[in-house]
Amino acid sequence: MTIAETQNNTQTLIDLSKPPAEGIVRVTFLPEGRTVEFEFGTMPYDHHGKPMSFLDVAENYGIFLDHACGGACACTTCHLWIKEGAKGLSEADDEELDRMETAADVQLNSRLGCQAVITKPGSYVVEIPRWNRNYVSEGKPLDLSEEKQGV
């Protein structure tokens, strides 16, 4: 059992070793390990990124996911790695693919958090890259040259 958050931001115990109940979306944001659950189709749009995008979910639950352009597919600060649930997401369109070409540390599972839309109930796990996590913890982006030196 672990603590997860339901739609009204109340905390509840959820057994993450079991899949979410029918009709439920479960999203875990790594490395923070915050998990939220809500009924598919009921989450209000928070006006950041596409409705039901990971950015929309993060904004609904007060989880920090940088979004310098406001979710307009005009930057790459919302870059995420999809660890689980890729088959339940919208396909990346040409605009997202073009934008991703300018992102740092792109992997096969990279998506823009403001563009990747959850299309069905199920379990989703995303990881915020290290340089964005550092932004959260220190209020500024990580200097990647420092990272290479092990600083």
The whole-angstrom separation of Cα 31 and Cα 139 is 17
Complex with ligand FES: residue 112 or 128, whichever CB lies closer: 112
Between 4 and 126, CB nearer to ligand FES: 126
- The interface with ligand FES within residues 53-92 (CB under 6 A) comprises 67-69, 71, 73-78
Regarding 4 and contact with ligand FES (CB under 6 A), the answer is no
Distance CA 136, CA 78 (A): 12
> How far apart are CB 115 and ligand FES at their closest, in Å?
6
CA 104 – CA 3 distance, rounded (Å): 32
Q: Partners of 123 in the beta sheet?
A: 26
Spacing of C-alpha 147 from chain mean position: 23
* Interactions with ligand FES, residue window 93-122 (CB under 6 A): 99, 112-114
**Minimum distance, C-beta of residue 77 to ligand FES, in the bound complex (Å):** 6
* Coil/strand/helix, residue 106: coil
The residues binding ligand FES (CB under 6 A) are 67-69, 71, 73-78, 99, 112-114
